[in-house]
Amino acid sequence: MGYQALYRTFRPATLGELVRQEHIVRILANQIETGRVGHAYLFCGPRGTGKTSTAKIFAKAINCLHPVNGSPCGECEACKALADPSNLDVTEIDAASNNGVNEMRDLREKVQYPPVAVRYKVYIIDEVHMLSDSAFNALLKTLEEPPRHAVFILATTEPHKLPATILSRCMRFDFKLIPQADIEAHLKEVFQKIGKEYEDEAVSAIARAGAGSMRDSLSVADMCISYSKGKLTYRDVNEVLGSADFYEICKMGEDILCGNAQGALEQTEKVIADGKGAGVLAKDLLTFLNRCTVAKTCKNGNSILGLPAEMYAEVERIAGKADGRAILRACDIFSALESDLRYSTSPRIILETAVVKASLPETDSDISALLLRISALEKKLSSAQVYAPMPASADAESYTAPAERPAAQRPAAVSEPSEEDPFAAPQARAPRVAVRPARTQEDPFAGSAAPGTERPAGGTDISTPEGRKKIPGLFLRALRRTTRSGVLFTMCQDLEHAFEGDVFVLYAPGDTIYKRLNDPENHKSVAEALASIGITSFEIRKKGEKADPVEADIETLKKNFPDADIDIR
C-alpha cells in the first residue's frame, strides 16, 4: 500500500482517542451502555475537530456486541463485518455531490431494507448543509420516523444553513476547537510513533498554524516531515508555512511602533522583493503585533507564545519600549487590512498605506491616534528638560529677549507638515539655553541660586535706558530661581515687554497664555520674580491691548506732578 497521510493514519478508532470533545464522548458512551440510541444525530462544528471520525466510531459502537467504555471492541463479528469496505450497513454519503431530490428519494427507498450483518443500518451524511431545499423536504419525513433499524448521523460545518424542521428532529452535538496545548501533546505522540525528532518550538508553531483544527495541524506536520530530513526545527516550520524571516518582521514592526515610516517602508520593499505577497506579509505583521501585545501584557508571555528564547527576547525588547496604545492601534489597522486585501486590485499599495498610517499617528485624526499623540506629549513634559543648564562663564546681562533677537538666532518653533511632504515628522523645538552668570570678585553672589543672596537688581540700575534693556534677562533669571514650573518659565521666554511710565507691561501672544499667566499661582510667581529685581508695578496684557485710558491719564498726572496730592474718586 502507498503512503497514507498522517491524519488518515492516526484517525481515532475509539471514543477515548478523540481529543478534547469530552462533553460529546460522555453522552454517546452513556447512550451505548444504556441502549438509549437515538434515530437522528447532528454533529456540527469547525473543520478538523473530529465530526466524521466520531460518526464512524459511533456507527461501529452501536453495532458492537461487546462495547468497551462505549467504544467498539474491534474483535467481535460485528466489528469485523463493519471493517470490511464492501459492507453496506454503514453508508457514507457526500451531500456536496449528492444534493438533489432524486438521491434523497433513493435513500428513502433503501432505508426500508434491514441491515445484513449488524443490528443498525447507519447513514452518515457529510456536509449536509449542501442539500437543496427539495432534497431536505424529501428527507424530512424519513428523518422524523425512520425504521427501527435505521440511524442517521448528519455532519456539517454550517448548521445555520439547515432548515429548522431538520434541526428540531436531531440531537445536536457542537464540537469545539481543540486547544493548542492538546494539539501539541497529540503531535508529539505522532512524532514519537514515527520516530521523528523535533524541537518543542517547532511543535508549538505547527499547532498554532492549525488554529484549533487537528486535521490541519497534522497536514502541516506531514509537510514539515517531508521538508526536514533531520531534526524538525522552528525555522523549518516557518519555511514550510511560507512566513517571512522572523527578524525582518521584527525590524519592520519596530520601525512601525517607533514612528519610523521611512525605515518601515524600506523594510516592506525588502520583504516583498524576496517574493512574499502582501497578504502573507500583512498576516506576519499581525502575528508579530499579537506577540508584542502578549509580551507587553503577560509576565511570562512565552508560555503562551512558545517561541525560542532568543526570539522571545527580541519580541519582549521591542514591546518594552513601545507604547501600549501604539501596539493596539497597529493591531486594529492590520486586522482591518487583512479583510481589505481580499477585495483589492492593488494589494501592495493598500499594504504600504497601512504601514505609513500605523507609523505616523500625527497624520491620523482617529481617536486612538489622538490619544497616542497626547500620551507622547505627556511623556515629553514629564521627562524632557525644558531648558538646558546655564554655562558658568556666560554673562546674564547679555541675554536678549526672544522677540528682540535676530530671526536667525530665535528658537525654532515646531514646524507643520509642508505641502511638498505632508507626512514629514514635525521638528522638535530647539532647546532654550538660559544664562547663568559667573561669580566674580566684584559680585561674589552673581552666580548664586539661593534666595536672598543676590542684590535686588543684580547690581544694575533699572531706571536707566541701559538697565531696562537688561530687565528681560534678569527677570527670567529671577523666575528660574523662584519657581519650579518649567511651563511658566517657557511661557515667559516669549513674552514681549515695554515700560509705560513706571509700569512694566508684559504682552501675552494669545488668550491661552494670557489666562495662564493671570492664574493666581502664576501671577504670584511673576510678581515675586519682578520684585526681586526691583519692579513692583507691572501688568500682564494680551498683545495689541492698550491700557485703560483713565488709568493712563492718572499715571501721566502722577509723573508730571509728583508732589501733588491726587484724589481718585
**Over 60: is that where the pLDDT of 15 sits?**
yes
Residue 331 CB neighbour total at 10 angstroms: 17
Q: In CATH, what number is assigned to the domain containing residue 349?
A: 1.20.272.10
The pTM score is: 0.59
Half-sphere exposure of 380 (CA within 13 A, CB side): 12
Q: How far apart are the first and last CA of the chain?
A: 118
Boundary residue ending a domain (198, 225, 241):
241
Q: Are residues 305 and 159 in the same domain?
A: no
Q: Verify that 184 and 170 share a domain, yes or no.
A: no
Query: What are the beta bridge partners of residue 504?
Result: 499, 538
Looking at residue 368, what is its pLDDT?
Answer: 67
How confident is the model at residue 85, as a pLDDT? 82
More confident residue, 405 or 566: 566
Which pLDDT band holds residue 447 (cuts at 50, 70, 90)? very low
337 and 485 part of one domain = no
Q: Report the share of the chain in percent with pLDDT over 70.
A: 79
Query: Within 10 Å of residue 288's Cβ, how many Cβ atoms?
Result: 24
Q: How many CB atoms lie within 10 A of CB 413?
A: 11
Q: Residue 370: in which H helix or E strand, if any?
A: helix 367-383
Residue with cell 532654550: 432
Q: Are residues 281 and 223 in the same domain?
A: no
Highest average pLDDT, of 256-265, 376-385, 532-541, comes from 256-265
Asked if residue 146 lies in contact with residue 154, where contact means CB atoms within 8 angstroms, the answer is: no
pLDDT above 50 for 449: no
Q: Is 125 helix (H, G, I), strand (E, B) or coil?
A: strand
Q: How many whole angstroms separate alpha carbon 507 and alpha carbon 510?
A: 9
Residue-level pLDDT at 224 = 92
Residues 543 and 456 in one domain: yes
Condensed to tens digits (0 to 9), the pLDDT of residues 76-132 reads: 988 988 888 888 889 999 998 888 899 899 998 889 988 888 899 999 999 999 999
Average pLDDT over residues 312-332: 89
CB proximity list for 422: less than 8 A, separation 6 or greater: 363
**pLDDT tens profile 188-235:** 999 999 999 998 889 988 998 888 899 999 999 999 999 988 899 988
d(C-alpha 447, C-alpha 454), whole Å = 9
Question: What residues have CB less than 8 Å from 256, skipping those under 6 apart?
Answer: 264, 285, 330, 355, 358, 359
Give the residue-averaged pLDDT of 412-433. Answer: 44
pLDDT at residue 483 above 80?
no
Q: Which residues of 215-251 are buried (b: 16+ CB within 10 A; e: fewer)?
A: bbbbbbbbebbeebeeebbbbbbbebbebbbbebbbb
CATH at residue 31: 3.40.50.300
The C-alpha atoms of residue 429 and residue 50 are separated, in whole angstroms, by: 63
Between 366 and 399, residue with greater pLDDT: 366
Q: Does 327 lie in the same domain as 263? A: yes
**205 lies in the same domain as 277:** no
Give the CA distances from residue 65 to residues 70, 74, 121, 432, in Å, rounded to whole numbers and listed in that order: 11, 10, 15, 92
Q: What is the C-alpha to C-alpha distance for residues 283 and 246, in angstroms, rounded to an integer?
A: 13
Does 377 reside within a domain? Answer: no
Here the cell at position 357 is: 498610517
Least confident segment among 321-330, 357-366, 388-397, 408-417 = 388-397
Residue 381 lies in a domain: no
Q: Look up the CATH number of the domain holding residue 212.
A: 1.10.8.60
Residue 82 lies in a domain: yes
* Domain boundaries, position 364: 246-368
Q: What is the mean pLDDT of residues 300-320?
A: 87
Q: Is 385 inside any structural domain?
A: no
CB atoms within 10 A of CB 474: 27
Provide φ and ψ at 497, rounded to 5°: -145, 165
Residue 433 has pLDDT above 50, yes or no: no
In whole angstroms, what is the distance from residue 221 CA to residue 203 CA?
8
Residues 6 or more apart whose Cβ sits within 8 Å of residue 408:
none
Task: Tell me what pLDDT residue 406 has.
Answer: 53
pLDDT at 143 over 70: yes
Residues 323 and 362 reside in one and the same domain: yes
* Element spanning 154, H or E: strand 150-156
DSSP-derived secondary structure for 470-527? THHHHHHHHHHHH---HHHHHHHHT-EEEEETTEEEEEESSHHHHHHHTSHHHHHHHH
Structure-model confidence comparison of residues 483 and 568, the more confident one: 483
Same domain, yes or no: 10 and 87: yes
Residues 149 and 184 in one domain: no
User: Both 100 and 164 in a single domain?
Assistant: yes
Residues 170, 225: one domain?
A: no
Pairing mode, strands 496-500 and 503-508: antiparallel
Dist. CA 474–CA 469, nearest whole Å: 10
pLDDT of residue 387: 42
Give the bridge partners for 155, in sequence order: 43, 126
